[in-house]
Amino acid sequence: VSPYTITYFAVKGRCSALKIMLADQSQTLKENLVTFDEWGKGDLKKTCVYGQLPKFEDGDLVLFQSNAMLRHLGRKHGAYGKNDHEAAHIDMMSDGVEDLRLKYIKLIYQEYETGKEAYIKDLANHLSKFEAFMAKNKSGFLVGDKISFADYNLFDLLLNHKVLCSTCLDTFPTLKKFVDTMSARPKIKALLESDDFKKLPINGNGKQ
């Protein structure tokens, strides 16, 4: 039996970083897919703390908020730094990933047609911050010398952005190398190449 269960729509969305992390940590995940029709009935929504998915279960622990899930798994699987100092920096970087993810989600769901050009033009201003921080660290990870949940979170968001704009990492050698190295980690590679993962669209409205 797999210790973890995720309930979500049939999209990559806010579960992809978590799936990448669990795969890389050799953990199995049971997935309950919810259709938008089923969701529309409202019964499941009523049981969700914020009225939204994903829902994550670890035994009798039930969690909402995708970033809380990443942190929980980071603590459990040694992907949250080796001391408080590293953990604080990991939080700082993952919160930065969340800021950019929210901008990305706004583009996708609210202004794709009108805002894409301006978004891509401004993207380097955001990516340069991650590039600079990671380049200073030398280990190939955001913080310390070990992978953390912030790395999985950043990796997932960079993959989405490469789909949005295939050249967006060309001027960021550290991030480019990071994406290549992460993609080549055997368990991540296997996940990214699996049919179950590949068939999921990135977002719920078909835009990417």
Interface residues with ligand GDS (CB under 6 A)?
A: 13-14, 45, 51-54, 65-67, 102, 105, 109, 204-205
Whose Cβ is closer to ligand GDS: residue 52's or residue 171's? 52
- Of 169, 86, 182, 177, give the one whose Cα is nearest residue 128: 169
Task: Give the contacts of 129 (CB within 8 A, at least 6 positions apart).
Answer: 96
Whose Cβ is closer to ligand GDS: residue 14's or residue 126's? 14
Identify residue 78 by its one-letter amino acid code: G
Task: Give the contacts of 114 (CB within 8 A, at least 6 positions apart).
Answer: none
To the nearest whole angstrom, how small is the minimum distance from the Cβ of residue 170 to ligand GDS?
A: 28
To the nearest whole angstrom, how small is the minimum distance from the Cβ of residue 90 to ligand GDS?
A: 17
Whose Cβ is closer to ligand GDS: residue 54's or residue 81's? 54
To the nearest whole angstrom, how small is the minimum distance from the Cβ of residue 97 to ligand GDS?
A: 12
Whose Cβ is closer to ligand GDS: residue 39's or residue 135's? 39
Residue for token pair 């920096």: 89
CA quadruple 187, 67, 172, 89: dihedral sign: negative
Residue 66 CB neighbour total at 10 angstroms: 23
To the nearest whole angstrom, how small is the minimum distance from the Cβ of residue 22 to ligand GDS?
A: 16
